[in-house]
Structure 1
């Protein structure tokens, strides 16, 4: 059977890379999503520098006021990077799901830049710096720490997005548990307001839904479980 014909009759989530890559619409969408993510990454350092210099407001947060601050950076990033690695190991052999996830991640960060711009906040009282070994180097890119990237919690939203990107089986429940744990840990760190954490799953879900519609319209894949 010719490759293109096999691609049409195979379940979308089980398409091998050669079959997916043979579709021009898939190639265009994949390369465009990667290109836009790289462009966004290049523009984030000056954006975060602008946020840090801008005056903001301190919100009343009864939960944080009652919660002693502790530095839990290490368990936070162990959870985050283990979750990212495990999810990528699942997505990489599944080009349709990977494409959906890439567009969702791009849309998530576009939404986050919008909310950060619209909601100027100063950090919570008792903030302890959350040291991210990768983001601090590649995205913040400045000598001064960034503490005003608050609404909404990017770490919590990313973990929730990973949970949506895998089938609703053991993978998803494990990632949802990791999402809840990371949300709690950034509050213990006082790195975010409670509102930032509670809003994160909403924006992650919206991004994943919008990305699904975009992929279906531009590439023609349908939603099926792997």
Structure 2
């Protein structure tokens, strides 16, 4: 399918042009990339401008609703033990980090989805930023979007991201003694001892189901 055909089927919405222009003007050199993609505007900003991006989105673009905050680990998934590159039963993995819309430079990226409930305003923006590959750290959005609190705590649990100045940086899903971050690509799922489920009980057969009934 040609690019001309794609543009005829899915033209860039007018509100995307408006959002791109306003966000670009407000962020200036702190904006690394911005484009319309699949119904959203996707913007990648410098990590140090993460809070600035949220403030612009909320106060100048009326994007007052935070849908979610999450993290992507772009590291290629390790080859499972006992398999080889020629094992066709294992899906082929890229050998290098392959980034999504807007590009990237590090292993981890944080991204947030923002919307507005006000008619006549640009309606949807995804903001993303690169995080340090060894010690992912970013400022909290919780002062601007109170709903960011739990989303950020989930990212702490699952990816090991530290949110500077977060008001309540406690685990939200995992036990306090749990070690590691389960959604990282290098988390050793098979390295833990398999234990019986504590709720497992013997179940008696239904009448007529046993051999002696």
TM-score by length of 1: 0.19
Return the TM-score normalized by structure 2. Answer: 0.19
